[in-house]
Amino acid sequence: MNAWLGLARGPFLYLAFSVLAVGAVRQWALAIGELVRAHRLAGDQKIPWRWMFRKSLGWIVPVNALAGTRIPYTVASAAFHIGMLAVPLFLAGHVALIRQGIGIAWPTLPAGAADTLTMAALVGLAVLLLYRLIDRAARFLSGPQDYLLLVLCIAAFLSGYLVAHPEANPLPFGVIYLAHLLSAELILVLIPFSKLAHALLFASTRIVWELGWHFVPGGGERVRAALGKAGEPL
């Protein structure tokens, strides 16, 4: 067990961060390249930057969605995303591990706040998983990756909570600690290559959508032809 923990705290951890870093650079490079290409081809190159900035903030803090029909889903998603960002970055144990590895540290969350965010994220993840299982439309749109990522995130948060609270841990400490390290490292590796990549690309998403409606010259007429409406106004 000690040998596995040594690998998980050392080579596996460095490998996970390396894959994340290289994958993130690749995703950003591809996104920037596509944005430049889309802007160059757009028939209307005027982009409402302020509006898109506000809409991007709306994705981070989805206040408007609280007035819709999927309020439990929205609240659960917000709880998960807040916990997913705050706990890994600002948990005291994580920051200490980073300081040990590369000598860099920053302020950390109080233990009580970290526990609250962890439990909120776990409840949010459970609601999201239940929603995908019982809602017909969500179940139709969900693939194996969606369930895998949810289960993996639940494993990382739950094992992390048990590591921080060994008195509540029914398993040997080494087993649950190893499970936490490996599940978290697998998430880091998967971020650039899965739907979790939106954590890296959310800032460019709104720009892509906006440019998608700025048809290339002649695009409108081609849309009419595809719809069998050639020569007619849309």
Rounded to an integer, what distance in angstroms lies between the CA atom of residue 155 and that of residue 114?
Answer: 17
Q: Which residue has the higher pLDDT, 160 or 209?
A: 160
Q: Where are the alpha helices (DSSP H) in the chain?
A: 2-9, 11-41, 49-60, 71-90, 92-102, 111-134, 136-141, 144-164, 173-190, 198-212, 219-226
| Residue ranges of domains in the chain | 13-214
Matching residue, tokens 């998983």:
129
- What CATH number has the domain spanning 13-214? 1.20.950
Q: Which of 78-87, 198-207, 212-221 has the highest mean pLDDT?
A: 78-87
pLDDT at 152: 94
Token duo for residue 68: 């819709």
pTM for this prediction: 0.78
Question: 65: pLDDT confidence band, cut at 50, 70 and 90?
Answer: low
User: Length of the chain in residues, anyone?
Assistant: 234
Q: Does residue 171 register a pLDDT over 70?
A: yes
CA distance 156 to 171: 15
Band (pLDDT 50/70/90 cuts) for residue 66 is low
